[in-house]
């Protein structure tokens, strides 16, 4: 099995768990993508076959421009400056990897379009790794022009590599590298996504797959206050610097709830500023371990953080910023497992009310636990491995 991934932790993490399960069953596993970034995200013993190293390095530079964009501007930037260039850069290395490793199956992340391009060219079965469920929910149904523009980007890429033809008027491209026709692994469940009874049989909702993570720095566990309800605030690794105003509102809400709530902020100190004595401010936290000690989470509605939180049966306050986050936030709210606030315009009072709602209203916790049960029943990495083995 060859996993084709972009140099992003949220896209790599599920493949680590699935890869470990497959390896335990006796399969040979490898990853291909920008090697420098993947070496920091994968276990030390992982076999990494380089592809698109130059594009992987450019991702950190692109982030500086990307983090201030919103809406359609962020979407255009994602495709024009990130996904299409990454695919172009990765294709030669992925082709070398497939020829050298000889995989029975290529497992391609939805943002690593080089995987399907090469697999289809060389006649290797391929599956999709959908590390976010947003693409499965018809995200452009209300914005058809945007959907047409994305389809045009994909069609142009396919034509460039001789993998298809540009669409005729009113017609989409013949195949879509974001969606395998044989297997789409969705690391969520219909209970959260809201697609119960509506998805094709080859869409396998396996729930989150949690694998080994790089060692986290020391965490001051002794400072967790058993007398207060504990809430993690995290905007993810790519959004922290954009959150100065949001953190100000967070601290204002914390001041109003200081007798009841202890905040754990995963953020740079330079962005947050001074915090109350009872709050914890850490550059990064061991999130999976920490969630077992919390009562709720405030986050940017990143798919991984949302699923990790719900896997622990915890309700959320979600403040989406861009990309798939508004879609994931809507899923959380419609499932009843949390409250949405405005990232750019949230005031301390609004955030206080949202926190009070998810902490005090038992309905949010019941909904979170219902989704937690669906995740457990879905099977995670073992279920994903079962489905992949059927492609061999």
pLDDT at 350: 94
With CA atoms as reference, report the closest residue to 208 among 372, 6, 320, 44. Answer: 372
Q: Which two tokens stand for residue 100?
A: 């050298």
* pLDDT (0 to 100) of residue 218: 85
DSSP state, residue 52:
-
What distance in Å separates the CA atoms of residue 30 and residue 50, rounded to the nearest whole number? 11
Of residues 363 and 68, which shows the higher confidence score? Answer: 363
Backbone angles phi, psi at 376, to 5 degrees: -60, -40
Establish whether domains 2-182 and 221-376 are of one fold.
yes
Measured CA distances, 125 to 57, 116, 117, 181, 390 (Å): 29, 9, 11, 10, 11
What's the whole-number average pLDDT of the chain? 89
From 64-68, 218-222, 248-252, the region with the lowest mean pLDDT: 64-68
Place of tokens 């861009």: 322
Residue 168 has pLDDT above 60, yes or no: no
pLDDT in tens, 49-103: 999 987 655 655 665 565 666 667 778 888 888 899 999 999 999 999 999 999 9
Q: Where are the domains of the chain?
A: 2-182, 221-376
Q: Is the dihedral of CA 45, 51, 54, 58 positive or negative?
A: negative
Q: Are 375 and 352 in contact (CB under 8 A)?
A: no
Give the residue carrying structure tokens 């073992």: 382
Question: Percent of the chain, pLDDT > 70?
Answer: 89
Tens of pLDDT, residues 25-40: 999 999 999 999 999 9
For the domain bounded by 221-376, which CATH number is listed?
Answer: 3.40.50.2000
Look at the domain 2-182 and name its fold: Rossmann fold (3.40.50)
């Amino acid at each position: 099995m060859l996993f084709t991934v972009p140099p992003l932790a949220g896209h790599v993490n599920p493949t680590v768990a699935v890869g470990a399960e497959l390896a335990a069953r006796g399969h040979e596993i490898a990853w291909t993508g920008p090697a420098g970034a993947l070496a920091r995200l994968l276990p030390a013993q992982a076999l990494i076959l380089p592809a698109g190293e130059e594009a992987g390095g450019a991702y950190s530079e692109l982030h500086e421009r990307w983090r201030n964009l919103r809406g359609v501007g962020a979407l255009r930037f994602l495709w024009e400056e990130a996904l299409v260039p990454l695919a172009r850069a990765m294709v030669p290395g992925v082709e070398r990897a497939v020829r050298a490793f000889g995989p029975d199956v290529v497992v391609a992340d939805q943002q690593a379009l080089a995987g399907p391009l090469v697999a289809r060219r060389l006649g290797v079965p391929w599956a999709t790794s959908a590390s976010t469920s947003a693409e499965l929910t018809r995200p452009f149904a209300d914005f058809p022009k945007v959907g047409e523009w994305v389809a045009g980007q994909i069609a142009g890429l396919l034509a460039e590599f001789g993998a298809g033809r540009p669409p005729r008027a009113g017609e989409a491209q013949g195949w879509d590298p974001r969606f395998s026709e044989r297997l789409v692994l969705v690391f969520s469940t219909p209970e959260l996504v809201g697609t119960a009874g509506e998805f094709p049989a080859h869409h396998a909702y396996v729930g989150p797959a949690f694998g080994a993570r790089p060692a986290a720095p020391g965490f001051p566990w002794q400072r967790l206050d058993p007398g207060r309800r504990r809430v993690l605030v995290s905007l993810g690794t790519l959004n922290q610097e954009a959150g100065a105003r949001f953190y100000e509102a967070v601290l204002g809400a914390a001041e109003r709830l200081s007798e009841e709530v202890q905040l754990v902020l995963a953020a740079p100190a330079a962005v947050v500023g001074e915090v109350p004595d009872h709050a914890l401010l850490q550059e990064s936290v061991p999130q999976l371990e920490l969630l077992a000690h919390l009562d709720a989470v405030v986050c940017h509605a990143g798919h991984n953080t949302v699923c990790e939180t719900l896997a622990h049966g915890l309700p959320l306050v979600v403040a989406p910023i861009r990309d798939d986050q508004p879609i994931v936030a809507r899923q959380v709210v419609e499932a009843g497992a949390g409250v949405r606030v405005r990232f750019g315009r949230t005031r301390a009072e609004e955030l206080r009310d949202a926190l009070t709602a998810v902490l005090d209203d038992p309905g949010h916790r019941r909904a979170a636990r219902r989704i937690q049960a669906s995740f457990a029943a879905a099977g995670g990495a073992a279920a994903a491995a079962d489905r992949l083995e059927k492609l061999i």
